[in-house]
Amino acid sequence: MYMPKLLDIITHPNDILRKRSKSMKKSEINTKEFQKFFCDMKLTMKKKDGVGLAAPQIGKNIRVIVVSTNEGEIAMINPKILKKSFKKEWGEEGCLSVPKTFGDVRRHKKIKFCFLNTEGMEKLIEAEGFFARVVQHEIDHLDGILFIDKAKSIKKIE
């Protein structure tokens, strides 16, 4: 039985957070190493009180995110937004890689996106509200974009 380990979160400024991440091949997903990596990411996100975590935040420039949902954590490999609502809304965001900082970001209210799950199966999800916001925030990480690049009314908390 594998015991997941807590990973270090990379914080801004760091070049890794600004790189575009590489897509993963299906053959890389079904390895023991990747399955362990997914468990480590889940544990790290939970222990650090995150609602989402992208691989670049723990030093890996691969297109993998973990998002907390009502049903538990989901790993999304090569997530891609297929459709975005015309309507957008403002909401406060923070980030484990930009500690003690919050700002208002305008995001699409609804999105439709696809990804591969940890078995390499393609999934299609329509998300709205907070869940859609988290997915957009994490996909931004995969493209080297931080929420502070889009935020207004940025405030630091000591």
Residues with a known catalytic role: 138
| Cα 47 to Cα 40, 129, 140, 150, distances in angstroms | 10, 24, 22, 27
Cβ neighbours of residue 118 under 8 Å, at least 6 residues apart?
A: 29, 34, 35, 38, 75, 77
What is the spatial distance between Cα 21 and Cα 35, in angstroms, rounded to a whole number?
Answer: 19
Round to the nearest angstrom and report the end-to-end CA distance of the chain. Answer: 40
Instruction: Output the six-digit token pair for 152.
Output: 């207004």
Residue 54 structure tokens: 């992208």
Cβ 66 vs Cβ 75: under 8 Å: yes
Beta strands 88-95 and 98-108: pairing type? antiparallel
Measured CA to CA, the distance from residue 143 to residue 56 in angstroms comes to 10
